[in-house]
A and B are shown apart, each in its own frame.
Chain A
Amino acid sequence: MKRSHLVLLLLVASMMGMFISFITSTSRSVGFDTAFADPGVEYKVSGTLVAAHPVEYDAQVNTNLTKFHLQDKQGDIREVWLQQSKPTGLERSESIDLYGYATAEGHFHATDMLMKCPSKYNEQNHLLETDV
């Protein structure tokens, strides 16, 4: 076997692996309409926290259940049951990605969640703009 053959073999094999990992892992976010048309199937939904509804978390009842409302990119609002203790900074989040499925009861059951919070290098002069 020549050196170049071995190298080629490795290249091809890892390219295939990369392709598989890319195809199977990349998720696309959908709106609530898609998720609720297909209850029980896992989807990723992105949106923002609806401040008008309170975030419900009672550790004494269930340590791993947080309820809140999310508005998706199309503007639909649904109640979300997140199967986790209340994430730090949820109320301050700018956007939220949920991974989970729609339930027949009408809420979205999220098993995992990613948040984007205001930048730690936040360059806004909130103080001076509002108070002075």
Chain B
Amino acid sequence: MEYLGEWLWAAHLGRALVALGFVSAMVATVSFVRGDISLGRKAFQTHALSTFAVIALIFVLFFGHRYEFQYIWKHLNNEMPMRFVLSAFWGGQEGGFLLWMFWHNVLALLVLWRADGWQREVMTVLSAIEMFLGVMLLGVYFGDFQLGLDPFMLVRQAPANLGLPWTARADYLTSIPQFADGQGLNPLLQNYWMTIHPPTLFLGFAATSVPFAYAIGALWRRDLTGWIQPALPWSFFGVGILGAGILMGGAWAYEALSFGGFWAWDPVENSSLVPWMVLVAGAHLLLINRNRKEPTALFSTLYLPVLAFLLVLYSTFLTKSGILGDTSVHSFVDSGILPQLLAYLLSFVALGHLMLLRHVETRKAYGGIALASLALVAAGFHALGILAFLAVMAAAAIRAFRRDLKTDAEEDALWSREFWMFVGSLLLVLGAIHITWQTSIPVFNHFLAPFSSVFTWAADLTGWDVMNTLAQHDMAPGTDLDRTYHLVQVPLAVLIFLMIGLTQWLKYKNTDIRTVRTKVLRAYIASAVVTGVLLWTYDFAWHEVPRVALMYATLFAAFSNADYFVQMWKGQLDALGSPLAHVGFALTIFGAVLSTAQKDIISLNRIGDISTLNEELNNNTDLLMMQGDTLPMGPYFVSYKERRQEGIHVLFDMDYYERTPKSYAQGDIVLAEGMVWQALEDHVASPLFDDDVEDRWNFLPFPTKAQTERATRWVNGTPGDLEFTLSPRIQLNARMGNAPEPDTRHFLTRDLYTHIKWGRVTPPETDEEGWLGGQSSSFAVGDSMFVGGVLLTIDSLRVIRDEERADRGLLDDDLALAACLGLRRGRTVEVHDPLYIVRGNTVVPDLYEAEGWGLRFRIDAFNPADETLDMVVWEHQSVRRDFVVMQAVIFPQINWLWIGCILMTLGSFLAVRFRLRQRKTSRRGH
């Protein structure tokens, strides 16, 4: 059948290009392996061209709004501004893979263009990686097994739609309204951070493959030192870009999502951080060996770049396979490509580890056993087979470490730069291992499953609880971040930063430590002084000693490296990338630690001390704001001005006023903590009432009526000038549910970060007369609550007197009880008394309206035992005021974090440039 209006040619062309890309990558791989460089180059260029063409074609489809294509239909709609087309492109899995391939091709073409002596080996590995990535886009089905995700799949061809009646209509594109518009990009991704964060991160991911390829090439040739020089700039390029990508992710989370911070130790974040840490360690080992005649720690030097790339693959596996499942707050995709992602990962794990072995025979032997263990997977014992496979790989690595890559260089001197660089790198790797371990717990569960009965047996035998835990195989990473991550990461970081501070001053080979001591003395004193100032300024608890130690260490590293930078400055930045990057890294962590440790949630709920309904208000971090009210909040007064809609956002305008001090005169009467107080002397209010209560206020146990009426609520300040307006928003998101987005006010020394925790996006529903749905609550005498702007208190209960009966329409035999309700709005106070009526054996519902207040009451039950009553309260829309629940946090000194990020990235690129120049001069020298 001929379908009308479809761009079927585009689907055919696209699939042909994908297939061409895959085949040409395969040809390139084989040619480079066999040493046919010129054919390999041509094949790879073909591959790169077809990949770029695929990407271009998808953009054509996006711009043409071709909704017959599933990928377009899912990620675009007519409303979406075209400036988000990039985000839409990588909004799905297929686009993510294409973006990765794009950068990978760009880097590989650079390698081709430079054509150094390692071209054959490096291009073999890069082409092989491309081949595997190409498979991810094939979208071929073998029965139910799906190989790859086809970006050119038509909606009518999607497995879910096969056989549905509409797919048999030739004119489905025009006759079915759903095809007039797409589903649209998830609004969460319609954000400028989403246009720059993924490409940077993926460029970083792609960059890890080049050092990997050099290391594999070195192992292949068994030339274990010659690769170091050319691999160095690539490694630092990866460090800089990947680092920037990760931090942009943090910035996105901070600026656009309501996580309440920039780092949450989420699996997604962790799995991009870990490769970076390993790459940094690897790059430093390269530096060590570049400066030596006899190589040292060869195993680590080769293994870390390999590991960094494998961890990138592992990260892809974790986040795209759906294996993290229930254990993360982030959502993960389960797109049915887990088996092939796993195959991809394991293939490169095998390549990386087998190549470590020196002899072809041993490689074959280990490879054979590994393959045999994978046969277990095929036989259905998935976890067992993979476990056996990984054991073989570990054995290969251990063998390489102990025999094949053993170096017998002399031990470095204690005060040599290389020794401390090595120790620092080792610590980074340890940190990476720990993070990987905690992130991988959901994966471990899969491995534990087959041994469940063994652990149960062990638990019975030993009675240990931990055995039961293992037997249940449903462990989850802890939520207590201090124990899960900081317990290990903070001490490691302290050591790392102390080393960063010291090592910069050490020389290669050996240093006279006495000269170094005088050089770091300044940094030592400066950081001690600044730490002292911080301790003086901010409140730190005793259990925060590790944090303070980390701040000290980061300051020491920053001062020391800055000092080095200034001392070595000779008008040229060239060799100074390293101290600059180190200052940046230290400042980043310093800003992160200080702003997180000292974050001040200023939106504490102050309604709590009036309302006696709730006893447990200890962790109230959210503030209820009625429209028009002006409430004190931290150093400000805040007023919720209005709600308005702009496109897909509902904005809540919050005015922030300066707080001017409040003075009280002797004899003033205030209401505080639910009691009445009289001022003993003239004074200016302290921030907290508790600070004043001892000396300045006299408690009035039995206030007179006049005194009560005079009493005002105690405040510690009054609103002054309007300083600024923040508009935290709620994004209307039909697909994902409405999502809050923060609004942040940036100052030089702090950020004020606010977001809406709860807010109405539409007016509430009412009945025909304008009454809102009633709310039922249980009250005792003395309880109070806010209904809109009215403070409702249950003053007393009384029995109706006989003379009142007629007025209230009661029969003689009725039992009736009146609840005396105090209603208070501003200065107006009135008492109303709805009735609880029992006639015979039944309760007569009695609706009572407090006229002029817009409130209605009905008492449904009275419980004599504890003298509580159940009452429904209705509010009329005419008196209702809109309200929101918001949270506001002050992050002090957070700008150091961003300054650090910029310096770190800048420093990394200076290092790349320096190494590139060095390479040129060293080549010329030969």
Q: Which residues of A approach B to under 8 Å, CB–CB?
A: 1-4, 6-7, 10-11, 14, 17-18, 20-29, 44, 46, 57-65, 83, 85-86, 88-89, 91-92, 95, 97, 99, 111-112, 114-125, 127-129, 131-132
Contacts and interface: CB of A to CB of B under 8 A. Distances in A.
- Interface size class, chain B: 35 or more
B479 A21 contact: no
The 3 closest A-B pairs by CB, nearest first: A25-B478, A89-B737, A25-B484
Contact of A3 (B155, B419, B619, B788): B419
B624 A60 contact: yes
A114 B479 contact: yes
B736 A61 contact: no
A129 to B, nearest CB: 6
Contacts of B476: 26-29, 44, 97
A121 B91 contact: yes
Given A24-B483, A26-B469, 4 more contacts: A26-B441, A27-B475, A60-B787, A127-B183
Interface of B is mostly: mixed
21 contacts: A10-B427, A14-B492, A18-B437, A20-B487, A25-B483, A25-B487, A26-B476, A27-B476, A27-B478, A57-B758, A64-B617, A64-B622, A85-B622, A119-B332, A121-B92, A121-B93, A121-B333, A124-B160, A125-B160, A125-B161, A132-B178
Interface stretch (B121-129, B323-331, B762-770, B893-901): B323-331
Given A27-B476, A116-B331, A128 B164 contact: yes
A30 B91 CA distance: 36
Contacts of B31: none
A117 B785 contact: no
B434 A14 contact: yes
B164 A132 contact: yes
B878 interface: no
Interface of B: 74, 91-93, 155, 158, 160-161, 164-166, 176, 178, 183, 186, 188-189, 258, 325-326, 328-329, 331-335, 411-412, 414, 419, 423, 426-427, 430, 433-434, 437-438, 441, 466, 469, 472, 474-480, 483-485, 487-488, 491-492, 495, 605, 607, 611, 613-614, 616-617, 619-624, 735-740, 757-758, 775, 777, 785-788, 883, 885
B78 to A, nearest CB: 15
A21 B484 contact: yes
Nearest to A24: B483
A21 B438 contact: yes
Contacts of A117: 331, 736-737
B93 A10 contact: no
Contacts of A86: 757-758
Contacts, number: 189
Contact of A46 (B155, B166, B326): B326
Interface of A is mostly: mixed
Contact of A116 (B92, B326, B437, B469): B326
B607 A3 contact: no
B331 A120 contact: yes
Nearest to A11: B430
Contacts of B176: 132
A18 B433 contact: yes
Contacts of B788: 60
B227 to A, nearest CB: 25
Nearest to B91: A121
B624 A59 contact: yes
Contacts of B477: 25-26
B785 A3 contact: no
A23 B613 CA distance: 40
A128 B155 contact: yes
A58 B333 CA distance: 34
Contacts of A95: 326
Contact of A63 (B178, B188, B738, B885): B885
A1 to B, nearest CB: 8
Contacts of B485: 21
B480 A25 contact: yes
A99 B622 CA distance: 20
Given A83-B616, A85-B622, A112 B441 contact: no
A21 B739 contact: no
Contacts of B787: 60
B434 A18 contact: yes
Given A2-B411, A7-B426, A61-B785, A119 B333 contact: yes
Given A21-B434, A28-B474, A116 B329 contact: yes
